């Protein structure tokens, strides 16, 4: 399988992208812990994180399920190599960073209690196949939580034509590589089709009044920097909008979809 629209080895702005992931994880850590708890994670769970990147969120999963095992699945060898260092307290049954793609998970059927995919499915050319794989490895009664973007939830007001240009350029570039900037709204149907039950979607939106603007800007537009190829000066755009936000003239808001589902318990 190809890495679709997020191939870290060829991105060219590795340090910026790693810092962006770190900043994103730190800024919402408390909020995310609450999301994961309400999605069903428990202290003794065997957990699988799909597309763990450098492991900043893996660290949170280890904190929430300290008595279980934690499989950190990631295709990029460079990112995977950072996971051990970024997970401060290893869970009791072990941390297992494994190089793999989501469509061929190394785990046996019915072996995982909780799986998490955060900003991953938008990059994958066949998300349906990957969601079915997650369903396969979950134990009956196991939970899956996917958090992902949808550009329909991005608001900059007053509008700036450069923002629309960044979004449109990035949407087509990501689509060309097999990704989908509108995957958030599609996850409910995809998970139901894969056999999950009790599938529920919610939208979490944050504004420039709630998050430091730099963090929000990087969440909404930072990944896109790797797709723009110098067509727009993102630093200048950041400076201009930042001044407007600080003076109270500009509102920025962005949302993500949080979609959860369970694997049915069958009684033979």
In the complex, what is the shortest distance from the CB of residue 44 to ligand SAM, in angstroms, rounded to a whole number? 23
**Cis (ω within 30 of 0) for the bond into 158?**
yes
**Out of 102, 184, 254, 255, which residue is the one contacting ligand SAM (CB under 6 A)?**
102
d(Cα 233, Cα 225) in Å, to the nearest integer?
Answer: 9
Binding of ligand SAM by 21 (CB under 6 A): yes
> For ligand SAM, which stretch binds (CB under 6 A), given 39-47, 51-59, 138-146, 148-156?
51-59
Whether the Cβ atoms of residue 214 and residue 161 lie closer than 8 Å to each other? no
3-class DSSP state of 84:
helix
Binding of ligand SAM by 4 (CB under 6 A): yes
Q: Let me know if 248 is exposed, middle or buried by CB neighbors in 10 A (0-12, 13-18, 19+).
A: exposed
> For ligand SAM, which stretch binds (CB under 6 A), given 1-9, 32-40, 88-96, 236-244?
1-9
d(Cα 132, Cα 178) in Å, to the nearest integer?
Answer: 18
In the complex, what is the shortest distance from the CB of residue 133 to ligand SAM, in angstroms, rounded to a whole number? 9
For residue 248, the number of C-alpha atoms closer than 13 Å in the C-beta half-sphere is 0
d(Cα 166, Cα 234) in Å, to the nearest integer?
Answer: 9
Would you give the binding string for ligand SAM spanning residues 107-146, x where CB under 6 A is met?
-----------xxx--xx----------------------
Binding of ligand SAM by 53 (CB under 6 A): yes
Which residues bind to ligand SAM, rule: CB under 6 A? 1, 3-4, 6, 8, 21, 25, 50-53, 56-57, 73-76, 79, 101-102, 118-120, 123-124
């Amino acid at each position: 399988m190809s890495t679709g629209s997020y191939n870290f080895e060829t991105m060219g702005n590795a340090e910026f992208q790693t810092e962006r992931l770190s900043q994103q994880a730190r800024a919402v850590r408390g909020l995310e812990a609450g999301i994961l708890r309400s999605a069903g994670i428990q202290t003794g769970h065997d957990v699988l994180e799909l597309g763990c990147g450098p492991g900043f969120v893996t660290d949170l999963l280890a904190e929430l399920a300290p008595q279980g095992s934690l499989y950190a699945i990631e295709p990029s060898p460079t990112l995977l190599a950072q996971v051990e260092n970024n997970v401060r307290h290893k869970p009791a049954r072990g941390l297992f960073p494994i190089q793999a793609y989501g469509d061929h998970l190394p785990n046996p059927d019915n072996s995982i209690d909780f799986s998490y995919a955060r900003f991953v499915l938008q990059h994958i050319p066949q998300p349906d196949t990957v969601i079915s794989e997650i369903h396969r490895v979950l134990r009956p009664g196991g939970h899956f939580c996917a958090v992902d973007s949808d550009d329909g939830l991005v608001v900059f007001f007053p509008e700036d034509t450069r923002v629309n240009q960044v979004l449109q350029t990035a949407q087509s570039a990501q689509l060309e590589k097999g990704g989908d900037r509108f995957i958030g709204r599609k996850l409910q149907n995809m998970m139901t089709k894969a056999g999950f039950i009790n599938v529920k979607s919610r939208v979490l939106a944050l504004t420039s009044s709630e998050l430091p603007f730099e963090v929000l800007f990087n969440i909404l537009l930072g990944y896109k920097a790797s797709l723009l190829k110098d067509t727009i000066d993102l630093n200048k755009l950041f400076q201009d909008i930042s001044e407007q936000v600080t003076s109270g003239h500009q509102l920025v808001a962005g949302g993500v979809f949080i979609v959860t589902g369970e694997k049915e318990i069958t009684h033979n």
